[in-house]
């Protein structure tokens, strides 16, 4: 079975390194980008299964990057990471197709479990039909 791919997009080096270690040890092929331009190059080249995307990135912000990712491949799952209570941006991100957001400083275990849930479920949206 091919390893799932996770792309981490954050301008903070420490967060990228941390998440890289966590998701590499979970068995994912892990990529990182410090800006939108790099992130979109990786999306086009590697077609990741899931993108962990920081909302506040200098240059092209998280919403811009999200729009471009979804335009390249709408099936890529995106989880936003945000440092502020940017409720309007979070709502917009959800409208644009982000699954959810984690507010920094986030619980790394919660994030890890959520990524595993999204990637190991194998379902397109993770929704299961119950009943007849």
pLDDT in tens, 12-48: 999 999 999 999 999 999 999 999 999 999 999 999 9
66: which residues sit within 8 A by CB, 6+ positions away? 53, 78, 80, 93, 96, 97, 98
5-120 belongs to CATH 3.40.50.2300: yes
Report the pLDDT value the prediction gives residue 129, as an integer from 0 to 100: 44
Q: What are the CA-CA distances from residue 47 to residues 24, 39, 86 (Å)?
A: 17, 11, 28
pLDDT at 117 over 50: yes
pLDDT at 124 over 90: no
Report the pLDDT value the prediction gives residue 87, as an integer from 0 to 100: 77
Distance CA 91, CA 72 (A): 21
Report the pLDDT value the prediction gives residue 60, as an integer from 0 to 100: 93
Distance CA 10, CA 75 (A): 21
Distance CA 79, CA 66 (A): 10
Encoded tokens for 89: 């941006």
Report the pLDDT value the prediction gives residue 122, as an integer from 0 to 100: 55
Counting Cα atoms < 13 Å in the Cβ hemisphere of 13 gives 0
Q: pLDDT tens across 40-91, in order?
A: 999 999 999 999 999 999 899 999 999 999 999 999 999 999 987 677 889 9
Instruction: Report which of residues 124 and 101 the model is more confident about.
Output: 101
Distance CA 7, CA 53 (A): 8
Encoded tokens for 74: 């709408």
Strand partners, 103: 82
Domain ranges of the chain: 5-120
Report the pLDDT value the prediction gives residue 86, as an integer from 0 to 100: 72
Q: Which residue has the tokens 């981490």?
A: 8
pLDDT at 132 over 60: no
Report the pLDDT value the prediction gives residue 1, as an integer from 0 to 100: 77
């Amino acid at each position: 079975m091919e390893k799932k791919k996770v792309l981490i997009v954050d301008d903070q080096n420490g967060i990228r390194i941390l998440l890289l270690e966590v998701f590499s040890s979970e068995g994912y092929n892990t990529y990182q980008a410090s800006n939108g331009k790099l992130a979109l190059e990786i999306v086009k080249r590697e077609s990741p299964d899931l993108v962990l995307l920081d909302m506040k990135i200098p240059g092209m912000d998280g919403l811009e990057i999200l729009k471009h990712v979804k335009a390249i491949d709408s099936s890529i799952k995106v989880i936003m990471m945000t440092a502020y209570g940017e409720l309007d941006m979070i709502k917009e991100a959800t409208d644009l197709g982000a699954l959810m957001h984690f507010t920094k400083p986030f619980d790394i275990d919660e994030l890890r479990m959520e990524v595993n849930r999204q990637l190991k479920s194998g379902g397109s949206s993770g929704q299961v039909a119950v009943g007849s």
